A and B are shown apart, each in its own frame.
Chain A
């Protein structure tokens, strides 16, 4: 048995369940983006990055969903095999870093793929909306922006998932908490996309260090909430 399996069994389970799934969805996403790009090129012409419209919106919801799935599917499995809640906390934290980094890397590669396609046809890959990165070829900053964003959305999914695992009442209470956790991610992506809240954050001109500090603080808060909920959470029976 490898060290990875012995020391990080849940992480191994989660990654084997979610990495391939995420990569598959990314490939599908890229195909859709390229098809839309082709249609626009044939009708209106291309002057900016098409995928930038979507990458700051849809992928974060996938990461949020994966965070919920970690609890709704794998916490039960973890406890049923005699593992502890403390162990779940450590491995789920490791998971949030790995899955969000992996997804951010795929998105970054997507910009690179788009750049190569645009170069072939002589189009300009301009960003329609500035993010914490100013141009579509600032790959390290792009990776950092999406990693930070996805990290907070994944841990927000964990918090809300655990809330509902414990009780419906607590689950409802964790929804605004989850929203608070993801709000700072609107600043680096300059994209809110939620009704009623967060749009004013997209215009704030905040130094990257401040954004990073705010996100780190909220991540730590989220981990504290995860521990507070999971440390003695009962595993209720499911029917049948």
Chain B
């Protein structure tokens, strides 16, 4: 099955609340996509519709050219792990969660799941409800990775993990993407930590898609100007500055907009370093309340 994802004029409403409004995009598949947005921007709602957890209120959602909702041919190829995962109920032992996954998910890879259980040191005989938040997150990640579905989505699934475990997850995700190419969508708040994984980025704000582009293009859409604070201030005067950081006399300013060769030469002459734009700064800029946006 191809995992081309076509979303056209999608809307989702809960009673009086509009969670998604006129969202349209196409993902060609086979990549790692980053889905970014502030709290309440509609990320979980969008992923829930893509996984068939919720029915769209309007518009269309197609995966591999077919509608998703309650369509076994599509949903069997899709796995969404929201938070610590819906497939890990608190009344069940970890071992049973994995056994039930092998019954219910045809593409389940038990050998790979066992490797991940060892990697995250999960106790198989413990009840899910007795696990720490971090270990429940690890269990959700195992369910997502070992599902080996052509479309796998993680919605803030690893927030409970400590830093070493998060890095284990990123390594496993990359290794999996290389050995078993599939489409992965990762929704996160830890943008800087994960952004290196993203090949394309979608940003939602207040239920609307405000940006969809390749990560490299976005990083090239601006520059990080670093150097002596006074030199940086002089250089960025008149440019659109998305954010600034300062440590002693050293300052880093994120500027939006491409710098031509003359400006780059000017920066070099002033002893300033030019680096790629941080996605997090671009994200903050794009999702600022309209009145505050420069």
B289 on the A face (CB < 8 A): no
Fill in one digit per residue for B119-144: 1 if any A CB lies within 8 Å of its CB, else 0.
00000000000000100000000010
B170 surroundings in chain A (CB, below 8 A)? none
Q: Are B133 and A80 in contact (CB under 8 A)?
A: no
Residue of A nearest to B137 (CB): A240
B237 on the A face (CB < 8 A): no
Instruction: Give Cα distance in the complex from A112 to B256, angstroms.
Output: 83
Q: Are A82 and B70 in contact (CB under 8 A)?
A: no
Q: Are A82 and B89 in contact (CB under 8 A)?
A: no
Q: Are B92 and A73 in contact (CB under 8 A)?
A: yes
B-contacting residues, A1-20, CB 8 Å: 5-6, 9-10, 12-13, 16-17
A240 surroundings in chain B (CB, below 8 A)? 83-84, 133, 160
A13 surroundings in chain B (CB, below 8 A)? 100, 103-104
Q: Are B104 and A83 in contact (CB under 8 A)?
A: yes
User: Which 3 pairs of residues, A with B, have the shortest CB-CB distance?
Assistant: A81-B104, A80-B87, A80-B86
B-contacting residues, A189-240, CB 8 Å: 231-232, 234-235, 237-240
Q: Which of A9, A232, A239 contacts B103 (CB 8 A)?
A: A9
Instruction: Give Cα distance in the complex from A76 to B81, angstroms.
Output: 12
A129 surroundings in chain B (CB, below 8 A)? none
B76 on the A face (CB < 8 A): yes
Q: Which B residues have a C-beta under 8 Å from some C-beta of A?
A: 44, 48, 51-55, 69-72, 75-80, 82-87, 89, 91-92, 96, 99-101, 103-106, 133, 143, 147, 149, 160
Instruction: Give Cα distance in the complex from A211 to B251, angstroms.
Output: 84
A84 to chain B, nearest CB (A): 5
Q: Are B104 and A237 in contact (CB under 8 A)?
A: no
Residue of A nearest to B87 (CB): A80
User: What is the size, in residues, of chain A's interface with B at 8 Å between Cβ atoms?
Assistant: 30
B51 surroundings in chain A (CB, below 8 A)? 82
Instruction: Give Cα distance in the complex from A124 to B50, angstroms.
Output: 65
Using A82-B79, A234-B54 as known contacts, say yes or no to A73 and B105 having CB atoms under 8 A apart: no
12 CB-based A-B contacts, threshold 8 Å: A73-B92, A76-B87, A79-B52, A79-B53, A80-B80, A81-B105, A82-B104, A84-B70, A234-B53, A239-B83, A240-B133, A240-B160
Residue of A nearest to B140 (CB): A80
A109 to chain B, nearest CB (A): 27
A126 on the B face (CB < 8 A): no
**Count of inter-chain pairs, beta carbons less than 8 A:** 89
Instruction: Give Cα distance in the complex from A84 to B72, angstroms.
Output: 6
Q: Are A77 and B71 in contact (CB under 8 A)?
A: no
Instruction: Give Cα distance in the complex from A239 to B133, angstroms.
Output: 11
Q: Are A84 and B101 in contact (CB under 8 A)?
A: no
A78 on the B face (CB < 8 A): yes
Residue of B nearest to A88 (CB): B70
Q: Are B44 and A17 in contact (CB under 8 A)?
A: no
Q: A82-B51, A234-B48, A237-B82 are known contacts; what are 19 more A-B pairs with Cβ within 8 Å?
A: A6-B106, A9-B104, A10-B104, A13-B104, A16-B99, A73-B92, A79-B53, A80-B80, A82-B72, A82-B77, A82-B105, A83-B72, A83-B104, A84-B72, A87-B72, A232-B69, A232-B70, A237-B83, A240-B160
Residue of A nearest to B97 (CB): A77
Q: Which of A5, A12, A232 contacts B55 (CB 8 A)?
A: A232
Q: Which of A73, A82, A84 contacts B91 (CB 8 A)?
A: A73
A10 surroundings in chain B (CB, below 8 A)? 103-104
Instruction: Give Cα distance in the complex from A79 to B149, angstroms.
Output: 14
Q: Are A235 and B86 in contact (CB under 8 A)?
A: yes
Residue of B nearest to A239 (CB): B83
Using A9-B103, A77-B100, A78-B104 as known contacts, say yes or no to A85 and B70 having CB atoms under 8 A apart: yes
